[in-house]
Copies of this chain bind each other. A is one copy, B any other.
Amino acid sequence: MDVLISEVGPRDGLQSITAIMPLAAKKAWIAAEAAAGVREIEVGSFVPAKHLPQLADTAEVVAFARTIPGLTVAVLVPNARGAEAAIAAGADKITLPLSVSETHSLANLRRTHAQMIAEARAIATTIAALPRQQRPHFEGSLSTVFGCTLEGAIPDALIARLAGELAAAGCDEIGLSDTTGYADPAAVHRLVKLVRGVVGDDRLTGIHLHNTRGLGLANVLAGLDAGLTTFDSSLGGLGGCPFAPGATGNIVTEDLAFMLDAMGIDTGIDLQKLIAVRTILAESLPGEPLYGFLPDAGLPRGFRSVAAAA
Contact = CB atoms under 8 A, between A and B. Distances in A.
Interface of A: 147-153, 180-182, 184-187, 211-215, 217-218, 220-222, 225, 246-247, 249, 252, 255, 258-259, 262-264, 292-294, 297-298, 300-302
Nearest to A154: B302
Nearest to A254: B214
Contact of A186 (B182, B252, B262): B262
Contacts of A222: 221
A70 to B, nearest CB: 27
Nearest to A189: B263
A302 B185 CA distance: 18
Nearest to A212: B297
A58 to B, nearest CB: 30
B215 A148 contact: no
Count the copies.
2
A293 B246 CA distance: 11
A16 to B, nearest CB: 15
Nearest to A259: B215
B184 A292 contact: no
A213 B293 contact: yes
A104 B185 CA distance: 35
Contacts of A220: 218
Contact of A214 (B147, B149, B255, B300): B255
A294 B213 contact: yes
A231 to B, nearest CB: 12
A217 B220 CA distance: 11
A306 B150 CA distance: 22
21 contacts: A147-B301, A150-B301, A151-B301, A152-B300, A153-B302, A180-B300, A181-B297, A185-B263, A186-B263, A212-B293, A212-B297, A213-B255, A213-B258, A214-B217, A214-B292, A214-B294, A218-B259, A221-B221, A221-B222, A225-B225, A246-B298
A115 to B, nearest CB: 25
A63 B241 CA distance: 50
Contact of A259 (B181, B185, B252, B297): B185
A129 to B, nearest CB: 42
Contacts of A255: 213-215
A293 B217 CA distance: 13
Closest 4 CB pairs of A and B: A152-B302, A214-B293, A184-B262, A186-B263
B187 A262 contact: yes
Nearest to A248: B297
A259 B184 contact: yes
Given A186-B262, A215-B262, A221-B221, 12 more contacts: A147-B300, A147-B301, A148-B301, A152-B301, A153-B302, A182-B300, A186-B263, A213-B293, A214-B252, A214-B255, A221-B222, A246-B297
